[in-house]
Chains A and B, each alone.
Chain A
Amino acid sequence: MSRTDSRELLRGTLRTIVLKLLAENRRMYGYEITQQVKERTGGTITLTYGALYPVLHKLEEEGCLLTETEAVDGRLRKYYSLTPAGTATAQVKVAEFERFMAAMQALMQAGPGIANQKH
Chain B
Amino acid sequence: MYLLTDHQLDTLRSHLRQSAISPDLLPELTDHLACDLEEAMWAGMSFDEALPKILKEASLDTLSQLQEDYCSILGLEPESEPATLRDIVFMNRNKLYGAYDLREHYTVATEQALLWGIVIFSVTVMALGLHVSRQVQRERSKTPVRSIYNQPIFPQKTGSLAIKPG
Contact = CB atoms under 8 A, between A and B. Distances in A.
A64 to B, nearest CB: 14
A54 interface: yes
Nearest to A76: B27
Contact of B28 (A61, A74, A78): A78
Interface in B108-140: none
Contact of A75 (B25, B31, B66, B70): B31
B31 A57 contact: no
B73 A74 contact: no
Contacts of A51: 69
Nearest to B36: A31
A32 to B, nearest CB: 8
Contacts of A54: 66, 69-70, 73-74
Interface range for B:
20 to 34
Nearest to A52: B32
B74 A30 contact: no
B70 A30 contact: no
B interface secondary structure, majority: helix
A30 B9 CA distance: 18
A36 to B, nearest CB: 13
Q: Which of B4, B28, B73 has the most CB of A within 10 A?
A: B28
B32 A31 contact: yes
B65 to A, nearest CB: 7
B75 to A, nearest CB: 9
Interface in B47-83: 62, 65-66, 69-70, 73-74
Contacts of A57: 24-25, 70, 73-74
B79 to A, nearest CB: 15
A34 B39 CA distance: 13
Contacts of B66: 49-50, 53-54
Interface of A: 29-31, 34, 49-51, 53-55, 57-58, 61, 69, 72-78
